[in-house]
Amino acid sequence: MSGTGPNRSERELLGAVLKREPGAWDEFYERYERLIIACVRKVLLRYGVPCLAEDLEDLLNTVCLELLRRDFKKLRAYDPERGFKLSSWVGLIATNAAHDSLRRRGPAMRSLDDAPSNYPDASDPAPSPSDLALLRERQDLLNEAAAHLSPGEQAFLHHYYREGMEPAQIAETLGISINTVYSRKNKVRANLSKIVDRLRREELR
């Protein structure tokens, strides 16, 4: 027997949304709102953007439009036979939409994850399980590379990319100038990219 309201399964709710049943979209958004917000916050921190209300709201609207556009094209691409939940799919769409929105703001809005450029793009509307595995592998590799940075570089990485501190805050915390913050960011990113390349070469031996 099919459920209704909060008793609906993920697939039942998705079916109701795709059929444009009254109230289905509102129920869908209410169920996944916290997940979407969490994904957007992670992207903001990854880009070193403070989680201000206006930025968060802007990206939430972007994600919703991405879910709705072209008659729910990306939601229709969900295939439960691939082995992951609808919530994981929604989280991936939210993350990709937020990434793409920030990238369009200009070259200054580059994520730490963009440092190595020879990995698959997560913006594919229907990535395969192997693509998802490669993306997870990329993150693991970045984390391993970060462990090879100097203590000072790791501290900078934490302040800039994990805590999402503004350059002025980092400058005050570390006792350096704002110009030094930007130059250090470029240096850390370059070092991280070199370490990633070295680790990948070692894996191939």
Q: In CATH, what number is assigned to the domain containing residue 173?
A: 1.10.10.10
Indicate whether 50 and 71 sit together in one domain.
Answer: yes
Indicate whether 132 and 105 sit together in one domain.
Answer: no
The one-letter code for the residue type at 160 is Y
Q: What average pLDDT does this structure show over 8-12?
A: 90
Q: Tell whether pTM > 0.85.
A: no
In this prediction, residue 162 has a pLDDT band, given cuts at 50, 70 and 90, of low
Indicate whether 30 and 79 sit together in one domain.
Answer: yes
If one counts the domains in the chain, the total is 2
Question: Is the four-CA dihedral 14, 20, 21, 27 of positive or negative sign?
Answer: positive
Q: State yes or no: pLDDT of 23 exceeds 60.
A: yes
**pLDDT, position 1:** 44
Q: Which domain holds residue 124?
A: 117-205
C-alpha distances (whole Å) from 184 to each of 159, 178, 197 are 12, 10, 20
Q: What average pLDDT does this structure show over 137-160?
A: 76
Q: What average pLDDT does this structure show over 162-189?
A: 82
107-131 pLDDT, tens digit per residue, is 444 444 444 333 334 344 444 455 4
**pLDDT, position 130:** 53
Question: Is the four-CA dihedral 101, 105, 106, 110 of positive or negative sign?
Answer: negative
| 177 touches 171 (CB < 8 A) | yes
Q: Is 127 exposed, middle or buried (0-12, 13-18, 19+ CB in 10 A)?
A: buried
Q: What's the angle, vertex CA 194, arms to CA 135 and CA 104, rounded to 5? A: 55
Q: Which residue has the higher pLDDT, 171 or 114?
A: 171
Q: What average pLDDT does this structure show over 179-188?
A: 86
